[in-house]
Structure 1
């Protein structure tokens, strides 16, 4: 049977990770964050980066131990067994599929705003095109992702350049619109702009020297995006007052239009459009590799392990993930669906951090990357990662928590049905 192609270098996988993290979040969320934090919005980015780093470091160590496409599923299966691992895998797949549909709708809304098209057909088209690119090959997918990442970054550099002549007194950038509470609330909101670093672990089987390069890519991408976010945050509030940014649906595009004219507004809107497309692309890529990895662990039907002999990609897994995303396009409330995706991510973060604590206590090793800082044998960083994830879940709405609980119940029922089917066969 054909295997996945191991062809991603450190710089490629790092740029792909940067592209995942940058996404479209910064183009939309910075206005609302500035409204909460005021001129100190840069501090909210620092807080969010620290919180993201807790779980990012745990992923770095676990990916060094287990460089598998199954990523989180493998980490949890090796620590807590098959049933908890299946639930983690289910939540990631469901979150990626639902999230892919959600972002595709966001892409279609951007597209409709620019070109006056209908939303649903464009969302369908975006998902299908992304699915075709992912099936075409990992090099082709990496090429598209890296090009869009460079374009995204160029858009943010434009904002930094606009802000440079307007920099004020350093004391101005500690002015908090709603006090420290507002800065913390903005940090919670901004945290969603950092989500995606974990997805790169699912490309371990397509990365050169994954035990070294995946941990490096995780840490480098968080560091790079943090610097970019801080500089953009400072530039944004230097050009446009935070209260005005908070009222804008396209805050960065408005900054560009204020100083460079209408054409720059169109340019930044197009970059945001590409950024959203890139997010859909990487979500399908990541989810398809996880389905492949779980099937490779014999927890899903073997057909999902099928790899194209020509493109060396898991085309059956990719087709299934794309089809699932297409089905979820009609869910309705984008905000609720997006927060449901966040629920699945934070639940998985709790499991991943717990897995690292288990390995440190029961199967310690000196090989590979190690998260620094321990109290006795217990690593401190994963504990902080668990607490941060619980805090994030606690701040979700009751409706989202109810839907998340329902998703867990469905996952358990699917697992029960598959176990019964296996018992019939064997």
Structure 2
């Protein structure tokens, strides 16, 4: 595939996916448990995300190919094909769930400005960004830059009004509680998205250097912005008020500037649209990698000659995404997406640990710093934190998540026996 993505575009892809719509949905719930320590919850969640991001950076620099987690498992555990199949399927599932649920969120936000069938709007949004991604990764990259700048402007406006409040920054000296850790487990999901960017490694210039740089820079940028947003939110509304608000940021802003609050609602359209576009892009690259590896029909590895894009894999992802639109309880599907992503995080960190032990002298363009007795400390810590976050979902999520994992394993066994 054509290498068209420089460091700047990669940073915008990662930043755009991390920002997304996550902060709009989790900050209220997190404020309810962390109270004035909300800002510290954001910092702790950022550290947790950074630890796993470092593992992704090491593997992406070693194996800069479309397919990301699927490719890593295939390269590191060639005899354990079930691992690569499981990771590939779970990440496709996570991406298409994200795309479908956020497309519906886009349609809901649009109702404030234009009345239309939410289902039809969601289908139209998915179709539009499928076509944009087929047109080319560079074209979708420029659109992503525009959308991300709009997203950033909305959060900067919110912070601006927060700074003007006399109580801005008082939360920094307020007493903290153990709820900060619980808040971090909720906020962690606002940082999900950096893992999608590694699927663009094959289309990146100097991926060995630029992929790790883009991951680290995007996490740093979003962390600074998130902490500022949390301090602004606490300055404009009490933690209990934030918890009870349906639209947290616009609700807090409405008291001080109704015009800015309405503008924030419009900006949410760009945030959700950008998330849909990048999720579809990431899923199509995983599908491409699995088709190349023989775990999907080879036809889905077809590249459009002039546009250098996996058009059939993109269409496959579009069709699969449509299947989730009729489902109710969108928040449960979104949580299941986060659940399977964290399962894959644990596997990715374990893969880094295994490869370090198995082949310690291998040349690594980027390496996670710090090891004791040949054991990489940070990936071990990252796997432990991811495991901790795995126990902070609603009961329904575990039933659905375990069901999905079981279904994928059954499908693999059926395909394996057929081939044998």
- TM-score, normalization by structure 2: 0.95
Aligned to 1:146: 145
Return the alpha-carbon distance in structure 1 between the equivalents of residues 227 and 392 of structure 2: 24
Return the alpha-carbon distance in structure 2 between the equivalents of residues 397 and 29 of structure 1: 14
Aligned to 1:183: 180
Alpha-carbon offset, residue 366 of structure 1: 4.1
Return the alpha-carbon distance in structure 2 between the equivalents of residues 243 and 411 of structure 1: 41
Alpha-carbon offset, residue 77 of structure 1: 1.7
The DSSP-based 3-state class of the residue aligned with 2:28 is helix
Aligned to 1:63: 60
Q: Give the conservation status (yes or no) of the 8 Å contact 1:5–1:138.
A: no
Aligned to 1:24: 21
The DSSP-based 3-state class of the residue aligned with 1:340 is helix
Return the alpha-carbon distance in structure 2 between the equivalents of residues 94 and 102 of structure 1: 12
Return the alpha-carbon distance in structure 2 between the equivalents of residues 299 and 174 of structure 1: 54
Return the alpha-carbon distance in structure 2 between the equivalents of residues 338 and 174 of structure 1: 34
Alpha-carbon offset, residue 143 of structure 1: 1.1
Aligned to 1:7: 4
Q: Give the conservation status (yes or no) of the 8 Å contact 1:167–1:235.
A: no
Partner deviation per Cα, 1:148-199 (whole Å, 9 max, x = no partner): 10000011111111122225375543435xx523222211111110000011
Aligned ranges for residues 192-203 of structure 1 at < 5 Å?
192-203=189-200
The DSSP-based 3-state class of the residue aligned with 2:178 is helix
Return the alpha-carbon distance in structure 1 between the equivalents of residues 419 and 355 of structure 2: 30
The DSSP-based 3-state class of the residue aligned with 1:69 is coil
- Uncovered stretches (5+) of structure 1, i.e. residues with no partner: none
Aligned to 1:38: 35
Q: Does 1:297 align with 2:293?
A: yes
Return the alpha-carbon distance in structure 2 between the equivalents of residues 267 and 326 of structure 1: 30
Return the alpha-carbon distance in structure 1 between the equivalents of residues 266 and 160 of structure 2: 19
The DSSP-based 3-state class of the residue aligned with 2:308 is coil
Could you tell me which of 320, 325, 330 is aligned with 1:329? 325
Q: Give the conservation status (yes or no) of the 8 Å contact 1:70–1:202.
A: yes
Q: Give the conservation status (yes or no) of the 8 Å contact 1:57–1:371.
A: yes
Return the alpha-carbon distance in structure 1 between the equivalents of residues 268 and 26 of structure 2: 12
Return the alpha-carbon distance in structure 2 between the equivalents of residues 169 and 20 of structure 1: 28
Aligned to 2:373: 376
Q: Which deviates more from structure 2 when the two are superposed, residues 40-49 or residues 243-252?
A: 243-252
Q: Give the conservation status (yes or no) of the 8 Å contact 1:8–1:207.
A: yes
Aligned to 1:396: 393
Aligned ranges for residues 188-227 of structure 1 at < 5 Å?
188-227=185-224
Aligned ranges for residues 69-218 of structure 1 at < 5 Å?
69-80=66-77, 81-168=80-167, 172-175=171-174, 180-218=177-215
Aligned to 1:255: 252
Aligned to 2:272: 276
Question: How many residues in Structure 1 have an aligned counterpart in Structure 2?
Answer: 417
Return the alpha-carbon distance in structure 1 between the equivalents of residues 94 and 185 of structure 2: 19
- Uncovered stretches (5+) of structure 2, i.e. residues with no partner: none
- TM-score, normalization by structure 1: 0.94
Q: CA RMSD in A?
A: 1.6
